[in-house]
């Protein structure tokens, strides 16, 4: 018995000697191992950039939770015919990252209004509130007076910088509105959306506040949708000529905006006009749809033509770059969110790719030595990636496991990798779950658990990805309103605009 044990030990020692003959780990030549070693070496080369940020671009992917980024990464790679799982989006090449806690003053799960306010004013407020602190009550116009908070855009204008806001949603929608408006209700986008008592109490609709924005000389660039909030009921829309504006006060806010800047402005509403814009135009208002701009998947079907988000971003940078003092720009991919609400992953991922293309286009234009670029989301969605699909399984398809066999539910039917915890794709009560068919079709709605007309936001943390001056301050898990404070620190906007926080 002893001889057998000695013999076994000798064989093990011989095998070990063979494997570790060169005193190297056996996994050293494994491609995953080597890739991670390379990533570590690149990370070790990073040094904090403590330059003052001349320019800031804040990218907000509305509803772009972690699961949306992951699914979008796979989707974008598979569209290009490469390995989606190991694919890297443009935004993911930014060197610094953190997690952002998106709860609001009164809610575990946020809407887009208070989250945008947090990012651009430094305070958390209530759901449905724009540009007011947490003491304001939703819908209380009279009580909102004196509770206004100032945005980074207003501070930038006071400091002499150029400013811009770009969105694929209505430009009066929650995220862009946080840049300039103060409203006790995010829905007060036009006067037709306001209750008479709010108008009587002196509150202004969001579109009116944009046109009359009093800081500096106003925004140099405004690109988005939402024409009907700017045009009166008596005026035909320039694109949908059988439809009119929605304003009941007879005011044409487009004309008022143009008159404010006289000959130094341009108003555009279609792709042809957009392409002809001169970067030297001091003030540009582009409203490309009556309501929200088209989903990226449907953009080319628009009658008047719409620029892509990447094109609007590049044009905005070109115009804002004319100011030698620098600029502050917010860019929102607004419709990632809307398609999630509709339970339609295809259009959401298409808009995620368009948003990422805008980030990539910006990074090709700017210098991270003097430009702080931040990519984040306002909130997540109840969007899931589930099952055990094999590597390279089409992300919009049903689950096929690593053994090549379709994975079936207990009802004997396949299910999709992507799904929603609630929303319009739920099975009707008492009816069997339908067989998933044409799951990659643009109009397919993924199955959801709880039946709702509109899928809801999710409450988990979202990503912050950043590069440029002081981007290294995005580290760990932070409050969402911390984003404002990093931007202010990087730019010194508070000091430069003559505004300082009160002494502690």
Residues carrying an active site annotation? 112
- Dist. CA 502–CA 497, nearest whole Å: 15
Q: How is residue 27 annotated by DSSP?
A: T
Note the Cα 186 to chain centre separation in Å: 18
Q: Are 112 and 379 in contact (CB under 8 A)?
A: yes
CB neighbour list of residue 163: distance below 8 Å, 6 or more residues apart = 153, 156, 157, 179, 216, 219, 220, 221, 320, 327, 328, 329
Alpha-carbon distances, residue 341 vs 113, 241, 416 (angstroms): 16, 29, 18
What is the DSSP secondary-structure string of 391-414? TT--TTSB-B-TTSPBPB-TTS-B
Name the CA dihedral angle for 178, 179, 180, 182, rounded to a multiple of 10 degrees: 20
- Dist. CA 44–CA 321, nearest whole Å: 33
Pairing relationship of beta strands 96-101 and 55-61 according to DSSP bridges: unpaired
- Dist. CA 480–CA 482, nearest whole Å: 5
Q: Are 432 and 411 in contact (CB under 8 A)?
A: yes
Question: Which residues make beta-bridge pairs with 284?
Answer: 221, 266
- Dist. CA 168–CA 297, nearest whole Å: 13
Q: Are 124 and 483 in contact (CB under 8 A)?
A: no
- Dist. CA 336–CA 61, nearest whole Å: 7
CB neighbour list of residue 47: distance below 8 Å, 6 or more residues apart = none
Q: Are 219 and 244 in contact (CB under 8 A)?
A: no
The residue assigned the tokens 């040094």 is 47
The residue assigned the tokens 């589930």 is 386
């Amino acid at each position: 018995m002893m001889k057998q044990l000695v013999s076994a030990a000798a064989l093990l020692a011989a095998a070990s000697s063979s494997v570790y003959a060169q005193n190297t780990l056996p996994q050293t030549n494994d491609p995953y191992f080597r890739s991670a070693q390379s990533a570590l070496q690149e990370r070790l080369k990073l040094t904090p950039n403590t330059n003052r940020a001349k320019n800031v671009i804040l990218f907000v992917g509305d509803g772009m939770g972690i699961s949306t980024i992951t699914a979008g990464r796979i989707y974008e790679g598979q569209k290009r015919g490469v390995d989606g799982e190991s694919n890297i989006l443009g935004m993911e090449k930014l060197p610094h990252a953190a997690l952002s806690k998106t709860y609001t003053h009164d809610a575990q799960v946020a809407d887009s209004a208070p989250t945008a306010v947090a990012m651009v004013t430094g305070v958390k407020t209530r759901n449905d509130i724009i540009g007011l602190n947490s003491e304001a009550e939703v819908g209380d116009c009279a009580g909102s007076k004196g509770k206004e908070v100032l945005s980074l855009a207003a501070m930038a204008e006071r400091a002499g910088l150029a400013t811009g806001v770009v969105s694929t949603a209505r430009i009066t929608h929650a995220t862009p509105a946080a840049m300039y408006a103060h409203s006790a209700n995010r829905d007060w986008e036009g006067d037709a959306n306001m209750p008479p008592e709010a108008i009587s109490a002196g509150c202004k609709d969001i579109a009116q506040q944009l046109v009359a924005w009093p800081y500096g000389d106003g925004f140099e660039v405004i690109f988005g949708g939402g024409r009907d909030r700017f045009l009166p009921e008596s005026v035909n829309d320039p694109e949908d000529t059988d439809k009119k504006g929605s304003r009941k006060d007879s005011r044409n806010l487009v004309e008022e905006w143009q008159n404010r800047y006289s000959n130094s402005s341009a108003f555009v509403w279609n792709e042809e006009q957009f392409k002809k814009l001169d970067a030297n135009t001091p003030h540009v208002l582009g409203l490309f749809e009556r309501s929200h701009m088209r989903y990226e998947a449907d953009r080319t079907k628009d009658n008047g033509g719409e620029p892509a988000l990447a094109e609007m971003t590049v044009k905005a940078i070109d115009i804002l770059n004319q100011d030698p003092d620098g600029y502050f720009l917010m860019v929102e991919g607004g419709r990632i969110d809307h398609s999630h609400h509709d339970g339609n992953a295809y259009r959401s991922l298409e808009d995620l790719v368009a948003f990422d293309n805008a980030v990539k286009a910006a990074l090709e234009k700017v210098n991270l030595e003097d430009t702080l670029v931040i990519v984040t989301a306002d909130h997540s969605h109840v969007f899931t990636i589930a099952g055990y699909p094999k590597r390279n399984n089409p992300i919009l398809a049903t689950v096929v496991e690593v053994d090549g066999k379709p994975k079936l539910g207990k009802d004997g039917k396949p299910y999709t990798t992507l799904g929603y915890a609630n929303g319009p794709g739920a099975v009707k009560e008492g009816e069997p779950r339908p067989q998933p068919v044409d799951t990659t079709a643009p109009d397919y709605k993924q199955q959801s658990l709880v039946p709702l007309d509109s899928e809801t936001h999710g409450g988990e943390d979202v990503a912050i990805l950043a590069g440029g001056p002081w981007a290294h301050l995005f580290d760990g898990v932070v409050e969402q309103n911390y984003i404002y404070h990093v931007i202010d620190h990087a730019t010194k906007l508070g000091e430069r605009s003559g505004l300082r926080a009160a002494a502690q």
